[in-house]
Chain A
Amino acid sequence: AQSVTQPDIHITVSEGASLELRCNYSYGATPYLFWYVQSPGQGLQLLLKYFSGDTLVQGIKGFEAEFKRSQSSFNLRKPSVHWSDAAEYFCAVPTQGGSEKLVFGKGTKLTVNP
């Protein structure tokens, strides 16, 4: 079965600092990969997705992610974090090829210090 691992449960950064959130996946073929963000008490918002092509994907709110097949990773990055970026971040991958169902990582909570 496909799986997603987000090794960091909680990350704290200072406002203006750079950010990298890790995501590793287990998947039989080239996966579709997603990053979602969830603010407290809210649903999930899509930040970016990778289906194919360029391995560096640009998303909303200044986020980007790079697909690295050799490392089975899809890490999320932002060069300069804003206080409003404080939220929970989830990486996701389809449960199997051809499936619309997603399996989510456990999430990484981001705290931003002023």
Chain B
Amino acid sequence: GAVVSQHPSRVICKSGTSVKIECRSLDFQATTMFWYRQFPKQSLMLMATSNEGSKATYEQGVEKDKFLINHASLTLSTLTVTSAHPEDSSFYICSATGGFQETQYFGPGTRLLVL
């Protein structure tokens, strides 16, 4: 199956700093990537949809200026958490798909802890 990687796997940062998370599709071209947030013992919450070469589409309630998404190529999308606060601590997961009716393949996730 298709492989999606995320880097870093975990990160600890100070409050007020910015953190960048990378999501890469390793063996296929991802026309669309998704960013999810998962709180402990809860389901995935879709944050935004990212299409290569265009602006990301954010879900209702997600601050686009806080969670900056860039999808510069068909294999890479980045999520930058700007001016991170402790309440941003969470598990962030990306997924990638090659197109409509294609399966979403998920990355292993990034654990963010903001002190």
Cβ contact within 8 Å between B108 and A100: no
B78 at the interface (CB under 8 A from A): no
Give the chain A neighbours of B107 by CB distance below 8 A: 43
Cβ contact within 8 Å between B49 and A43: no
Q: Which one of A19-27, A61-69, A104-112 is at the interface? A: A104-112
Among B49, B105, B106, B109, the residue within 8 A (CB) of A101 is B49
Among A41, A51, A103, the residue within 8 A (CB) of B111 is A41
Among B1, B4, B97, B106, the residue within 8 A (CB) of A100 is B97
Bound-state CA distance A98–B95 (Å) is 18
Give the chain B neighbours of A34 by CB distance below 8 A: 103-104
In the complex, per-residue mask of A9-46: 1 if CB is within 8 Å of any chain B CB, else 0: 00000000000000000000000101010000111111
Cβ contact within 8 Å between B6 and A43: yes
Cβ contact within 8 Å between B43 and A104: yes
Q: How many A-B residue pairs have CB under 8 A?
A: 53
- Interface size grouping (class) on chain B: 20 to 34
Among A42, A100, A107, the residue within 8 A (CB) of B32 is A100
Cβ contact within 8 Å between A43 and B103: no
Give the chain B neighbours of A101 by CB distance below 8 A: 34, 46, 49
Give the chain A neighbours of B108 by CB distance below 8 A: 42-43
A87 at the interface (CB under 8 A from B): no
- Among A32, A43, A105, A106, which residue has the most Cβ atoms of chain B within 10 A? A43
In chain B, residues 28-53, which have Cβ atoms closer than 8 Å to a Cβ of chain A?
32, 34, 42-44, 46, 49
B residues with CB within 8 A of A: 1, 4, 6, 32, 34, 42-44, 46, 49, 91, 93, 95, 97, 99-109, 111
New A-B pairs, 12, CB < 8 Å, besides A36-B106, A46-B1, A51-B101: A34-B103, A43-B4, A43-B93, A45-B106, A46-B106, A100-B32, A100-B49, A100-B97, A100-B99, A100-B102, A101-B46, A106-B42
Closest 9 CB pairs of A and B: A43-B106, A44-B106, A43-B108, A43-B109, A104-B43, A106-B43, A104-B44, A43-B107, A107-B43
